[in-house]
Amino acid sequence: MSRQYFRISLLIAAAVLLAAGATFAAQHGKATRGEPIVITSSRMEADKLGDKVTFSGNVILKKEGMTLSSDVMVIFYDAGSKDIREIQAHGKVVVRKEGRVALSNDASYFSREEKIVLTGEARIIENESQIGGERIILFMRDDRSIVEGGKVLLYQDTQENPPAGKQRK
């Protein structure tokens, strides 16, 4: 058995054990951390077992109503707790949440702050309106964003002017 398959097997076994532990805690009234992060891709490569995992090829991450997709995604783990510290996405990044779409070339997700930093032709599209900037920070917990060096393109409904001779009183 090759070393790469052995590592993948260990990661899958760890994921199953974590899921089983979360189910046990939920059934016995203990607090859990929320929904798990689910990642699908064409390829996965683990470096320094437990410190860094790279996903490539049609990568899709799903977490609590948010979907993040890209060409390549690198997951960095905290050495002590093995919790996800940071996720970097590169190439054709798309973030979808509650009717909004954010696009960029690169993104970094910081799990403690629950924020995503978009760079490289970053923009947010909601309905027909667009906001673009050099850097966009999405605060997922607070449902707010900061746009740095940006442009705004807003479409609003226009009110019809009353016909000539008929004015409002």
Identify whether the C-beta of residue 59 lies closer than 8 Å to the C-beta of residue 72: yes
The neighbouring-strand residues paired with 40 are 60
The whole-angstrom separation of Cα 36 and Cα 17 is: 13
Q: What is the pTM of this model?
A: 0.68
* Phi and psi angles of residue 17, each rounded to the nearest 5 degrees, phi first: -65, -40
User: pLDDT tens digits for the chain (169 residues)?
Assistant: 444 443 443 344 334 334 433 433 333 333 345 678 899 999 998 876 668 899 999 999 998 888 999 999 999 988 777 788 899 999 999 999 888 899 999 999 998 888 999 999 999 988 878 889 899 999 988 888 889 987 776 666 655 555 555 554 4
The whole-angstrom separation of Cα 54 and Cα 44 is: 6
First to last CA, the chain: 85
- The DSSP call for residue 42 is S
